[in-house]
Amino acid sequence: VQLQASGGGQVQVGDSLRLSCAITGLTSTGYHMGWFRQVPGKDRELVASIIWSGRFTTYADSVKGRFTISRDMAKNTMYLQMNSLKPEDTAVYHCAALRIRSVQYYYQRPENYEFWGRGTLVTVSS
């Protein structure tokens, strides 16, 4: 599985951006997909996630109501629509895939994601 994130850039407070994650090599629909972000000196944070074959989504409290995760199975692409951006949203954003192998799994933990794309930088200026 290969993932490639794109769509980052430098924007002003209150602006919007849409990140895309192009995915190749999926062998089934049993994946949990996530958008993580990381700033220097801090742990990687799960921003939003979605089950590839379903509609179950999760969001970090810091982005609820502002970010929307979605996927287009026909295009093998995942998106992160980011609205009302704040300076604290500045980070490198990565998309990642977790292969679901059991009923119970911990999607919150970045170490459980097997596949990662190179990040795309989002900078929000005040």
Rounded to whole angstroms, the Cα distance separating 71 from 95 reads 12
Cβ pair 12, 123 in contact under 8 A: no
Binned average pLDDT, 10 residues per bin, the chain of 126 residues: 97 98 88 96 96 92 98 95 98 97 90 96 96
pLDDT of res. 29: 72
pLDDT attached to residue 116: 97
User: What is the reported pLDDT for 8?
Assistant: 98
Q: With beta carbons less than 8 A apart as the criterion, state whether 95 and 8 touch.
A: no
Burial class (CB in 10 A: 0-12, 13-18, 19+), 126: exposed
Could you tell me which residues come within 8 angstroms of residue 104 by beta carbon, excluding any fewer than 6 positions away? none
